[in-house]
Structure 1
């Protein structure tokens, strides 16, 4: 199987490090989350998030950082469908 690019809703290729706006989250993802994890992931909706990974199949994953009051930072990453993201800014190379 050849490597498939990650694609966003307008057909642009997205790559690791690109910034995209998250337009929707699959209900099946939110249904599995509770408490702070559910709140964090829900808060990603409408925000600009970073492309964390692109699988060989073209499946795009995005992530966001959530600083905690105790000084730690939690990271959440979710897989997204092409129609769920819109490219905002390409990653700077170098």
Structure 2
């Protein structure tokens, strides 16, 4: 799996914001939980890619990539760090 591409399909901020939904909830719950004004297809696509990251055991690596990204806002990086502390 190309983690960079898959994570880009989810969106780094989206992956962090909905991390625990993607990890613990069903695909349906993830899709209906989005608060952003994405189309249903976009919600399903983002969810499918995020679930794949978890399925392939790459969630910690994804969080590390997000933390090291220069294109992610500080609040997202801080939240990713907090999640990583609990996941490691």
Q: Same fold (TM over 0.5)?
A: no
**Could you tell me the TM-score, scaled by structure 2's length?**
0.26
Indicate the structure with greater helix content. 2
**Could you tell me the TM-score, scaled by structure 1's length?**
0.25
Indicate the structure with greater strand content. 1
